[in-house]
Structure 1
Amino acid sequence: SAQVRVFFLLLMWERGGQTLENSIYVRTEGAWLLNSKKQTYTTNSKEECAEQCETETKFPCRAFLFTSKDQQCITLAENTKTAVLFRRTNAVLYEKRIYLLECKEGRGKDYRGTEAKTQKGVACQKWADTAPHKPNYTPEKYPNAGLEENYCRNPDNDEKGPWCYTTDPNTRFDYCNIPECEVECMHCSGENYHGEVATTMSGLECQRWDSQQPHSHGYLPENFPEKDLKMNYCRNPDGEPRPWCFTTNPNKRWEFCDIPRCTTPPPVPAPGRQCLSGRGEDYRGTISVTESGNTCQRWSSQSPHRHARTPENYPCKNLEENYCRNPDGEKMPWCYTTNATARWEYCTIPSCDGKEPDTPAVDQPEQAQATEECYQGNGVSYRGTASFTITGKKCQAWNSMSPHRHNKTSEHFPNADLRQNYCRNPDADSRPWCYTTDPSVRWEYCNLKRCSDNIQMTLPKPPQTTLEPNPVFFFTSFFTDCIHSNGIDYRGTVARTARGRTCQEWSSQTPHKHDYFTPRTHPKSGLEKNYCRNPDGDVNGPWCYTTDPRKAWEYCDIPKCPPAQYECGKAKTRPKLCAQRIVAGCISHPHSWPWQISLRTSYGLHFCGGTLIDPQWVLTAAHCLEKSSRPSSYKVYLGLHEERALETSVQKRDVEKLFKEPHRADIALLKLRSPAVITDQVIPVCLPKENAVLGGREECYVTGWGDTKGTPGEGYLKETGFPVIENKICNRPEFLNGRVKKHELCAGNIHGGTDTCQGDSGGPLVCLDQDRFVQHGVTSWGLGCAQPMKPGVYVRVSNYIPWIKSVMENN
């Protein structure tokens, strides 16, 4: 029976040490899915909600929503591939992995992927349409067959697998080229391997994908929901020649797995394109010259450049001759060159829609400067270059399917001008919007105002924060009866809600049963007695369960602390968020990075950067302090934009103490002799959570007054934005060849042109988290400046949060 199956399923999770989110579900925090088919239940835990999903009889349950406060469980017939995702505090979305995978098992009757073209490359007709072909299989007749949109399906269990009606009037239907889910063996490079091998070629046990021990990494299951990164099974999420895993051996970061090749031939590939669509992974044309005019090296050759992108390692990628290809998920087709001084370069491929090929938004220096743009009506006609959402998230490029797959492409909406990652309104919504580069937030409206409005549109309430409380908040508000920000660190004694109801004790289960927010589950949240608290970071502030059986919980009315304090990571001047190189001189908006400091000699000469993390503490690189161990040798300048430091906003501070990280990591703390005065030009940055890891390709920003290599802009604070590069990739032989340590991180454009340089050392690498900037890196070292294949290296700040807090508390 269904109940017996659920019992054994839950028992398997418990005995296997698994959780819902790393077994058959993918978890997304702070999400709400708009579904027409749903059922609502009251449950005490996510496991009970999963049981409701498994036993759902109204429809096939593809996902469920669970809210811990309200103990509400909503089973859903759709997931993020077919329904609209909204943000909602305190809700968690769980999606079944099987409906996110892009491969089939057997005949593929249960295939629920999003392939929408036939094996010959013809677009599929929507199942609900009656033209050009009148269908026998429709959503009304076969409601459980997954006949949504125009996705390939197999409603009649055809032995040849999924198919669709075509948009070609002369061809009624055709089969689709859906790869087999490989379990016992692998085809091609093992991209679809979903087996349970969990040891490497040398016999090492694999590290769990959701673990950061012994190796920290960016391949988190929530960042790659379609890659099936569950347990510690070998997978290939990043275009390697075959599946691999991080190992449990501290001395061996990762290794390939020994997955046998299937004896059956791989599926016949669909006909490739002769033009560029998306990232060009299906480009099969014969262009063999790079964008700078270099001739391509043959893929089968190892001269002049040795490499692993060979036809043998990538047997399904058509690496014949020296034609430009994209075998590993780069942003566009590329090749190794016959020029010994240029290892590889991108190729210029004509776009399939006849437009000029899009260059990624990261290479557009002015994309975020259009702060005064506006839109008419509902913004359908908006053609500006805004590319950030109302909560500060960068927009995903419309031609990209990462991190969010969608059908809002120029092919489906040819008149919507879906270029690069600019805000648009292709579906006539209430105002322009975009998909975001945050894997957990599918889309948001853009930070634009109507042309008829005199003021900026009111921002919605921000989502719950995941930031570590800044030390100044933590120390000053621990015992007070007022709150800073959302009051996550409030430890006062208010025990009554805003409407006068008495709070229920957190350790009590009467009158309201709750399994999630207890002193046992949240030992660091101060859940003593019945005092108002904010254990889940609710943006509206502290709350409590009530003693009124009719009302489960309510917010508490606790006043805000006096405004003399600051909000970390929030500049009063909106930053430019420029993506041009520092070396080439992208000058920042004055005082838009108010945590940036200039570290100087005792006579005022700038030589390093640093970051204000507290009114009396600065974070910098240890190698900046090599010349002298005497604090009197250094001065800290704050609140400046020009290196000359003649502005009235400049504050100068002597250094009282120096603290280098005791294990010789390139990170150090400076205690100022007197605290900085917090002004609009001087504001500390936020610190990350302990051991927080950034996902690969997350865009961050660096700032500094460093060397510009003779280009304009010298003497002004400059900035650049570029993606974080996972250490596993950065340590490849063609990049930094194993030099990057686990307490460091890489960032930069691997084709060069964007980097920090001499004089930027010790400065911050910051990333936008909701509406605040968090410092994830300290500028440490690099091989040259802005060189191809040589990204910059930064000390990973999250590894040193305990050390930072210890030094500050004890000094």
Structure 2
Amino acid sequence: MLHGKWDSKSQIFLTASFSFLMSDSFLSLVVKGDILDDYLRTDGVWILTRNKQFYKTNNEKECAEKCEAERHFNCRAFLFTRKKLQCLTLAENAKMTVTFNSTDAVLYEKKIYLLQCRRGIGKDYRGMEAKTWRGIPCQKWAEKTPHNPNYTPEKHPNAGLDENYCRNPDGDESGPWCYTTDPATRFDYCNIPECEVECMQCNGEDYHGEVSRTESGLECQHWDTQEPHMHGFTPKHFPEKDLKMNYCRNPDGELRPWCFTTSPTKRWEYCNIARCTMHPPVSGLGSQCLSGKGEDYRGRIAVTKSGNACQHWNTQFPHRHGWIPDRYPCKGLEKNYCRNPDGEKRPWCYTVNSSIRWEYCAIPHCDGTEQGIAVAPPEECYRGKGQSYRGTTSITASGKKCQAWNSMFPHRHEKTPDRFPNADLRDNYCRNPDGDNSPWCFTTDPSVTWEYCNLKRCDDHTQEPAPNDPPATTAQNVGLTTPTTPDCINGNGKDYRGTIAKTGRGRTCQEWSSQKPHSHKYFTPVTHPRAGLDKNYCRNPDGDVNGVWCFTTDPEKKWEYCEIPRCCNYPSRLFCPPFLQLVMIVTKCFQSNHKNHKPSSYRVFLGIQNLIAAESSLQIQGVQKVLKEPNGADIALLKLNSPVTITDRVKPVCLPETSLMVERNAVCFLTAWGKTRGTDTDNRLKDVEFPVLENRICNRPEFLNGSVKNHEFCGGFTFGSIDNCEAEVGGPLVCKDKDRFVQYGVTSWGLDCTQPSKPVFVRIPSFISWIKNAMVAH
């Protein structure tokens, strides 16, 4: 039996040997999740539109239901106000009208109307393309000229026939179309690109799809929220990882994309995303030399820096590990070549030495050309003051080994690779980042801060120090020699002669001898010859009480202050953090079974760095009250008998924001009196740079097996260890946040830092409300 089909676009009668049921409400069968999954959420935004409807609802989901059921217009978005619980369904979204800020409002826009591509034949396409592939403007669906349409908003209310936008109301296999404004052409197809397939390459680190449920069906937690699970993977801290909404992502090199879940009992889970049929990139096309962290290095070096041969990635002997080539197909884990699969500082490998689990490799740096030619070995001598020296000498003039520039142990300092990006502060190689007389380094000797290096000038054929260099024994004997250009200020910084040349807001400074873009009469090298007005360095020629400043290269901003840290009563190369001492309490803990311990039995010692030496900075305080966390967490507050005197040796540390955890790559320090295994520094306060780990890593079976609670977190390394480190109960974990230090943790248990994923800390952001309330109440 033949059934006829009336092609209402071309008005031609066709016959076919089949019948086809077409309904405007026809949709593919999809397992629906949360109704809000179909909307894009934006906080603090209001849009201006005339076509809207007001409703009273209890929450956003009820408002979304009103939008879905709207009959006055096609609802493209809705606004919800948290205080008034007011719901406004809208005919327009942010692409179609004006937006402005509104603190209490949350805007939800239907994703289908924001999508500018089509899925399949594009029957659900609701974008705003309004011309054909030939560029002819479309006729409005509601109009009857120049063509009398068979598909209208009245006849097909669910087909999205708004304005003159391209649509596919009849399920045409060729995709969205429209009636045209050309009388000679009734209709034509639109050039709507196909959407990318929801699949992932490799381990899904580049996945940017919109899957937002885990493999077991749990809804994902939004990346910018901290409930029900507190974490450090925020869009602010990982802007390059595309942590939008609650979409599944792989920001940390996991096996595949994952997310934190909205279930309080399930912290995280993998997402079920298909692998793309396209083959992953060939690893052999990667770089043959080191650039950046070397994540794209695909060379064939298979020996560590100290000379140990690398273990094959596909073997588990002598070291068991999880970097199996089949599980990580795009990491280039071939044979036993050095690689960087986990975003480490540079390429590394497991070694064939059973006593050394892993080490970094020495990979030649690229010279910046497209071919990636390796840099020739640099000269082991220096020219001038050695600021251009790029050799690999790492021994001082007295024979001491240099401390790595990115390490804060045994000496804390500010000469880091981040602060001096052009100084090539790699590893522990001798360098001259601050324009001193010759290359130098911090030493690994706790009693000697820094020394000049065992290097000669290129034009000097002897091994003797250059004539202008001070003897090496100066730093060796004193241990606290001050360099010529410290990058910290004393007082108002009038004597500052460092090389910082940016303002606190990041603007580049104008040269003092220049009159552009800002003309000035009084602050030039001629008018102030003793003010150190060299180049465009921050200075304080007028003795401004607020510190150093400079004219800026921004025509709109004449001058600004520079943010330079204050010097300590230590060598000016040392870092001067806001915390220098760990508060020492005569009793280590405050357990409930200590019934006989009254507050008056405790003593608090502040301002000391040596347990056996008498220090004039010592302050001793009595305790008036001990406030234990009411739910039994391993944290307590002490109310002292009298206020503490703030000095250079006793300073407060900042509290973190409520429910916001430290970012994954933050620079953190663990401070403790812990023993250092027989060294002569057992009685000194020590700190060590210490990485923070995500709980889903800590709680893996091979590490702490689920024993880390939600109000706790762990630190250290998953593989390898931190040498000479022993934490103790109550010790602080403090992390750098811009220009300040914030305490994120208090050591609780698992005190051996040499073990993976230890120690474990109480998570201070979880207790900010309790801390603040306790301070007010007591």
Q: Aligned letter for 2:568? A: T
Which of 226-235 and 304-313 deviates more?
Answer: 304-313
Residues 384-403 of structure 1, C-alpha deviations (whole Å, 9 max, x = no match): 4369xxxxxxxxxxxxxxxx
Q: How many residues align?
A: 468
Q: Aligned letter for 1:273? A: S
Which of 322-331 and 210-219 deviates more?
Answer: 322-331
Q: Which structure 2 residues correspond to residues 680-691 of structure 1 after superposition, within 5 A?
A: 680-691=648-659
Alpha-carbon distance in structure 1 between the residues aligned to 2:252 and 2:714: 16
Q: Which structure 2 residues correspond to residues 445-460 of structure 1 after superposition, within 5 A?
A: 453=531, 457=538
Q: Which structure 2 residues correspond to residues 83-98 of structure 1 after superposition, within 5 A?
A: none
Per the alignment, in what secondary structure is the counterpart of residue 663 of structure 1? coil
Per the alignment, in what secondary structure is the counterpart of residue 406 of structure 2? helix
Contiguous gaps of at least 5 residues in structure 2: 1-34, 46-91, 104-113, 116-193, 366-373, 378-390, 395-402, 425-429, 436-485, 488-496, 511-524, 547-564
Q: Are the equivalent residues in 1 in contact too, given 2:635–2:746 (CA < 8 A)?
A: yes
Q: Aligned letter for 2:237? A: N
Match of 2:407 in 1: 363
Q: Which structure 2 residues correspond to residues 613-628 of structure 1 after superposition, within 5 A?
A: 622=590
Pick the aligned partner of 2:632 from 651, 656, 664.
664
Q: Aligned letter for 1:247? A: T
Give 1:210 deviation, angstroms. Answer: 1.0
Match of 1:701 in 2: 669
Q: Which structure 2 residues correspond to residues 129-144 of structure 1 after superposition, within 5 A?
A: none
* 1:187 equivalenced with 2:201 (yes/no): yes
Q: Which structure 2 residues correspond to residues 461-480 of structure 1 after superposition, within 5 A?
A: none
* 1:211 equivalenced with 2:251 (yes/no): no
Give 1:16 deviation, angstroms. Answer: 2.3
Q: Which structure 2 residues correspond to residues 546-557 of structure 1 after superposition, within 5 A?
A: none
Q: For the structure 1 residues 278 and 457, does the alpha-carbon distance in structure 2 shift closer, same or farther, using more than 3 Å as the test?
A: closer
Q: Are the equivalent residues in 2 in contact too, given 1:571–1:593 (CA < 8 A)?
A: no
Give 1:186 deviation, angstroms. Answer: 1.1
Give 1:308 deviation, angstroms. Answer: 3.0
Alpha-carbon distance in structure 2 between the residues aligned to 1:740 and 1:771: 30
Match of 2:583 in 1: 597
Match of 1:19 in 2: 42
Give 1:731 deviation, angstroms. Answer: 3.9
Match of 2:334 in 1: 320
Match of 1:652 in 2: 620
Per the alignment, in what secondary structure is the counterpart of residue 804 of structure 1? helix
* 1:385 equivalenced with 2:433 (yes/no): yes
Q: Aligned letter for 2:722? A: G
Alpha-carbon distance in structure 2 between the residues aligned to 1:235 and 1:673: 51
Identity %: 49
Q: For the structure 1 residues 641 and 807, does the alpha-carbon distance in structure 2 shift closer, same or farther, using more than 3 Å as the test?
A: same
Give 1:698 deviation, angstroms. Answer: 0.4
Give 1:239 deviation, angstroms. Answer: 0.9
Q: Which structure 2 residues correspond to residues 517-528 of structure 1 after superposition, within 5 A?
A: none
Match of 1:552 in 2: none
Q: For the structure 1 residues 291 and 243, does the alpha-carbon distance in structure 2 shift closer, same or farther, using more than 3 Å as the test?
A: same
Alpha-carbon distance in structure 2 between the residues aligned to 1:667 and 1:14: 39
Per the alignment, in what secondary structure is the counterpart of residue 19 of structure 1? strand
Give 1:260 deviation, angstroms. Answer: 0.8
* 1:710 equivalenced with 2:681 (yes/no): no
Alpha-carbon distance in structure 1 between the residues aligned to 2:261 and 2:37: 23
Flag the structure with more relative contact order, 1 or 2, with Cα contacts below 8 A and sequence separation at least 6. 1
Q: Are the equivalent residues in 2 in contact too, given 1:284–1:318 (CA < 8 A)?
A: yes
Alpha-carbon distance in structure 2 between the residues aligned to 1:13 and 1:577: 56
Residues 164-207 of structure 1, C-alpha deviations (whole Å, 9 max, x = no match): xxxxxxxxxxxxxxxx9964111111122111111212222211
Q: Which structure 2 residues correspond to residues 68-217 of structure 1 after superposition, within 5 A?
A: 183-217=197-231
Per the alignment, in what secondary structure is the counterpart of residue 728 of structure 1? helix
Q: Aligned letter for 1:692? A: L
Alpha-carbon distance in structure 1 between the residues aligned to 2:207 and 2:572: 39
Give 1:379 deviation, angstroms. Answer: 12
Match of 2:568 in 1: 573
Q: Aligned letter for 1:699? A: V
Alpha-carbon distance in structure 2 between the residues aligned to 1:238 and 1:335: 19
Contiguous gaps of at least 5 residues in structure 1: 1-11, 23-50, 57-63, 70-96, 99-179, 388-421, 424-429, 461-484, 486-569, 579-587, 602-607, 609-620
Q: Are the equivalent residues in 2 in contact too, given 1:571–1:592 (CA < 8 A)?
A: no
Per the alignment, in what secondary structure is the counterpart of residue 766 of structure 2? helix
Q: For the structure 1 residues 266 and 238, does the alpha-carbon distance in structure 2 shift closer, same or farther, using more than 3 Å as the test?
A: same
Pick the aligned partner of 1:348 from 358, 362, 374.
362
Per the alignment, in what secondary structure is the counterpart of residue 734 of structure 2? strand
Q: Which structure 2 residues correspond to residues 719-730 of structure 1 after superposition, within 5 A?
A: 719-730=687-698
Give 1:296 deviation, angstroms. Answer: 3.0
Q: Are the equivalent residues in 2 in contact too, given 1:289–1:296 (CA < 8 A)?
A: yes
Alpha-carbon distance in structure 1 between the residues aligned to 2:729 and 2:202: 43
* 1:631 equivalenced with 2:606 (yes/no): no
Q: Are the equivalent residues in 2 in contact too, given 1:571–1:683 (CA < 8 A)?
A: no
Alpha-carbon distance in structure 2 between the residues aligned to 1:379 and 1:272: 26
Structure of larger gyration radius: 2
Alpha-carbon distance in structure 1 between the residues aligned to 2:203 and 2:737: 35
Residues 78-129 of structure 1, C-alpha deviations (whole Å, 9 max, x = no match): xxxxxxxxxxxxxxxxxxx99xxxxxxxxxxxxxxxxxxxxxxxxxxxxxxx
Q: Aligned letter for 1:254? A: W
Give 1:229 deviation, angstroms. Answer: 0.9
Per the alignment, in what secondary structure is the counterpart of residue 362 of structure 1? coil
Per the alignment, in what secondary structure is the counterpart of residue 805 of structure 1? helix
Per the alignment, in what secondary structure is the counterpart of residue 773 of structure 2? helix
Give 1:572 deviation, angstroms. Answer: 7.9
Alpha-carbon distance in structure 2 between the residues aligned to 1:720 and 1:250: 34
Pick the aligned partner of 1:259 from 273, 290, 301.
273
Pick the aligned partner of 1:793 from 745, 750, 760.
760
Match of 1:803 in 2: 770
* 1:774 equivalenced with 2:742 (yes/no): yes
Alpha-carbon distance in structure 1 between the residues aligned to 2:705 and 2:288: 35
Match of 2:722 in 1: 753
Q: Aligned-residue CA RMSD in angstroms?
A: 5.0
Q: Are the equivalent residues in 2 in contact too, given 1:641–1:716 (CA < 8 A)?
A: yes
Q: For the structure 1 residues 343 and 370, does the alpha-carbon distance in structure 2 shift closer, same or farther, using more than 3 Å as the test?
A: closer
Alpha-carbon distance in structure 2 between the residues aligned to 1:809 and 1:292: 56
Q: Aligned letter for 2:633? A: A
Per the alignment, in what secondary structure is the counterpart of residue 596 of structure 1? coil
Give 1:253 deviation, angstroms. Answer: 1.3
Alpha-carbon distance in structure 1 between the residues aligned to 2:44 and 2:353: 47
Give 1:442 deviation, angstroms. Answer: 7.8
Q: For the structure 1 residues 622 and 743, does the alpha-carbon distance in structure 2 shift closer, same or farther, using more than 3 Å as the test?
A: farther
Q: Which structure 2 residues correspond to residues 274-285 of structure 1 after superposition, within 5 A?
A: 274-285=288-299
Alpha-carbon distance in structure 2 between the residues aligned to 1:577 and 1:241: 45
Alpha-carbon distance in structure 2 between the residues aligned to 1:441 and 1:723: 28
Alpha-carbon distance in structure 2 between the residues aligned to 1:21 and 1:338: 56
Per the alignment, in what secondary structure is the counterpart of residue 226 of structure 1? helix
Give 1:326 deviation, angstroms. Answer: 1.5
Q: Which structure 2 residues correspond to residues 218-229 of structure 1 after superposition, within 5 A?
A: 218-229=232-243
* 1:233 equivalenced with 2:247 (yes/no): yes
TM-score after normalising by structure 1: 0.49
Alpha-carbon distance in structure 1 between the residues aligned to 2:221 and 2:700: 20
Alpha-carbon distance in structure 2 between the residues aligned to 1:55 and 1:431: 52
Q: Are the equivalent residues in 2 in contact too, given 1:730–1:746 (CA < 8 A)?
A: yes
Alpha-carbon distance in structure 2 between the residues aligned to 1:188 and 1:728: 22
Match of 1:301 in 2: 315
Q: Aligned letter for 2:214? A: T
Q: For the structure 1 residues 729 and 270, does the alpha-carbon distance in structure 2 shift closer, same or farther, using more than 3 Å as the test?
A: same
Give 1:230 deviation, angstroms. Answer: 0.8
Q: Are the equivalent residues in 2 in contact too, given 1:433–1:443 (CA < 8 A)?
A: no
Q: For the structure 1 residues 453 and 630, does the alpha-carbon distance in structure 2 shift closer, same or farther, using more than 3 Å as the test?
A: same
Q: For the structure 1 residues 240 and 182, does the alpha-carbon distance in structure 2 shift closer, same or farther, using more than 3 Å as the test?
A: farther
Q: Are the equivalent residues in 1 in contact too, given 2:408–2:688 (CA < 8 A)?
A: no
Residues 259-300 of structure 1, C-alpha deviations (whole Å, 9 max, x = no match): 111122234556233332221222222333334544433222
Alpha-carbon distance in structure 1 between the residues aligned to 2:507 and 2:338: 33
Which of 728-737 and 623-632 deviates more?
Answer: 623-632
Alpha-carbon distance in structure 2 between the residues aligned to 1:744 and 1:755: 24
